[in-house]
Amino acid sequence: MRVLLIEDDTVLGAAVRDQIRADGHSVDWVKRLDEAEAGLRAGSFDLVLLDLMLPDGRGIPFLRRMRGRGEVTPVIILTALDQVSDRIEGLNAGADDYLIKPFDLEELSARIGSVARRYTGNPNPIVSLGPLEVDLAARRLHREGKPVSLTAREWVLFEAFLQRPGQLLSKAMLEEHLYSFDDSVESNAIEVHVSRLRKKLGHAMIETERGLGYRLAKS
C-alpha cells in the first residue's frame, strides 16, 4: 500500500512514517497542503492520512476539493480537534475514519488495515484462497494448515494481489505499492520479491504474463 501522510508536526510525522514503513507500506510525507496537492497530481495513493491544521490552510477544505474532483482514495483524519462537531464535519466532508491525537501507533495500523479492506470490497479479515488461509488483520498466513512467515514487504505485495484477484498487475503498479517517491528501486526488485513469495505460497499461486506483469491465480 502506498500512503500519503500530510502532517506538519515533525515528531509525530516521523513516528507515523516509521510505523507505516515497519508495516511494510511505502509512505510519502509532506508538511503542507500545496505539497500534498502536488503529490496527488504526480502519483497514485491507496490511502491519505490528513492532519486538519497545516501551515498553509485547513484539511477540511482540502478534503472537500479532493472529493469534489471525484477522488475516492480513502482518507483517515489525524487531529487534536476532539469535539463531536469536528468529527462530524470531517466525516461529512468525505473522511473514512477519524483518529484523535495522541493515538497509539498500533491502533493507527489497525485502522489503516480496516479502511483498506473496506475499499477492496471485503471487510472480512479472513480470506481463504486454495491451500492458503489468510488473517489480514493479524497478518497471519497458513498454507495447508501450516504457518508461513512473510516479511513486511512480502505482506504488502501479497495484499496487493489479494485486493485484485485474477487481475494482471504490472511491475510499475507493484513498485508503487512498495516504494515511495524518494526510494531507490533496483531494476529487479519486484522479480526478487515475487520469487521469494512464490517459494512460500506455492509456485502456482502467482502467474506470470511475460513482459506484462503478474496475477494471483484463481482458487
| pLDDT (average), residues 119-127 | 67
Q: What predicted TM-score, i.e. pTM, was given to this entire model?
A: 0.70
| Range 88-101 average pLDDT | 93
Q: Which residue has the cell 497545516?
A: 54
128 has pLDDT over 90 = no
Q: Give the chain's domains with CATH numbers.
A: 2-119 (3.40.50.2300), 126-216 (1.10.10.10)
pLDDT tens by residue, 65-78? 999 988 889 999 99
Q: What are phi and psi of 4, to 5 degrees?
A: -105, 115
Assign 40 a pLDDT band (cuts: 50, 70, 90): very high
CA-CA-CA-CA dihedral for 51, 56, 60, 64, to nearest 10: -120
Confidence of residue 124 (pLDDT cuts 50, 70, 90): low
- pLDDT of 218 reads 72
Q: How far are the Cα atoms of 101, 109, 159 from residue 197, in angstroms, in the given order?
A: 37, 23, 12
- pLDDT value at 96 more than 80: yes
Is 207 strand, coil or helix?
A: strand
